[in-house]
A = this chain, B = another copy of it.
Amino acid sequence: MKKRTYLMYAASESDSNILYASGFLAPDPYIFIERAGEKIMVMSDLEMDRAKAQSKAKKVLSLSKLSEKATGPGKPLLPVEKLIGAALRELAIKAVEVPANFPLSVADSLRKQGFRLTPVEDPFFPGRLYKTPAEVALVAEAQKKTEHSMKAAALALRNSTVKGGHLWLDGKVLTSERVKKIINLALMQNNVVGAHTIVACCDDAVDPHNEGSGPLCAGHPIIIDIFPRDMDSMYFGDMTRTFVIGEPSAAVRRLYKAVLESQRAALRVMKAGVTFLKVHETVKAVFAKYGYTTGLKDGRMQGFFHSTGHGIGLDIHEPPRVASVPGKLEEGMVVSVEPGLYYLGVGGVRIEDLVVIRKNGITNLNRYPKTWKP
């Protein structure tokens, strides 16, 4: 296979392609080039030493030297599009692949400078779809720490008492915010950053991305969705459980039963070679059997209106999607399996595990029990 020549300009704290390629974490955009298998970085004086010590690049060029070479000594640093042009010329590169999200203004300038840029659709690195055993171990580690924080949240729920329809703990009403803090502190104990953790109850939970707020209610499902990033590895964990404190209504019990059954059915059919559509349809078939419908009702989407799952790794959401899309599961993919049902008045239920796709089935990265009793 011919080795690719590609160019990236991005900040690896928010762009996982450049992090995957360089192994170098930085808050500001930097230049990364691979030429026929040789990894090259072009760095500011500030980042030179760290890039040499921490990155996968064999060659680290100096931005200021490149600039000086082009302008003569003592001149201000060239703008980045000119610096990239200078670097490409220095490396005798005329054409490069770039990621789909390569910045347009730099691209326009490079094309004007005579370079040929070909944007490549995601996944820019097809290898990111298939996790190596080492990567699986990192996701598993992140997920273990995520389960640890779920335990802390469940403990708070379990220790709470019901007063006036609300949960109370240690003499104060138990709010979504308090439980989120318990979770995020438990995560941070392990150097894992939880942000936008969801602890949502009642109608809040009907919007799957609503983080939840205010007092938690008894008898209603409380969705807890934790998707933090492990700062030791930069890989993500992601899991959801739904709990009820007090006595759930028959409608809530039935909702929980249907979601759990749908997730089990999905997990059962999953293995290499099975289409994403088949998994998604398996979930939908269970919901159809129960008579649950999906659509706009009272001005809100209700039912099951998101994907069954998504890839996860250095990004919280990365290819593939497990939904009504082309393609199939392949060995080494790591995906979430997270069916959910959401109805105003009843609430929402979602249950989510992470699984590794194997030849004959899956490895579930979760151990945490699935029951509405925390």
Interface residues in chain A, defined as those with a beta carbon under 8 Å from any beta carbon in chain B: 13-15, 25-28, 45-50, 76, 98, 100-108, 117, 119-121, 177, 180-181, 184-185, 188-189, 191, 193, 195-196, 207-210, 231, 300-301, 305-306, 316-317, 324-326
Contacts and interface: CB of A to CB of B under 8 A. Distances in A.
A14 B195 CA distance: 12
Given A105-B100, A208-B46, A317-B28, A191 B181 contact: yes
Contacts of A121: 105
A84 B46 CA distance: 39
Going nearest first, the 7 A-B pairs with the smallest beta carbon separation are: A14-B14, A100-B105, A105-B119, A101-B103, A102-B104, A104-B107, A104-B119
B48 A301 contact: yes
A28 B120 CA distance: 19
A106 B108 CA distance: 13
B105 A103 contact: no
Contact of A103 (B49, B100, B301, B324): B100
Contacts of A15: 14
Contact of A104 (B101, B193, B209): B101
Contacts of A193: 193, 195
Contact of A209 (B46, B177, B324): B46
Contacts of A14: 14-15
Nearest to A117: B104
A207 B49 contact: yes
Contact of A27 (B26, B47, B316, B326): B316
Contacts of A306: 45-46
A325 to B, nearest CB: 7
Contacts of A105: 100-102, 119-121
A191 B119 CA distance: 38
17 contacts: A45-B301, A45-B305, A45-B306, A46-B208, A46-B209, A46-B305, A50-B207, A76-B324, A76-B326, A100-B103, A100-B104, A102-B104, A104-B104, A104-B107, A107-B107, A181-B189, A188-B188
Contact of A301 (B49, B108, B181, B185): B49
- Which of A26, A101, A210, A325 has the most chain B CB atoms closer than 10 A to its own CB? A101
B100 A231 contact: no
A195 B117 contact: no
Contacts of A76: 324-326
A106 B122 CA distance: 12
Contacts of A210: 50
Nearest to A307: B46
A185 B106 CA distance: 39
Contact of A25 (B188, B196, B325): B196
A108 B119 contact: yes
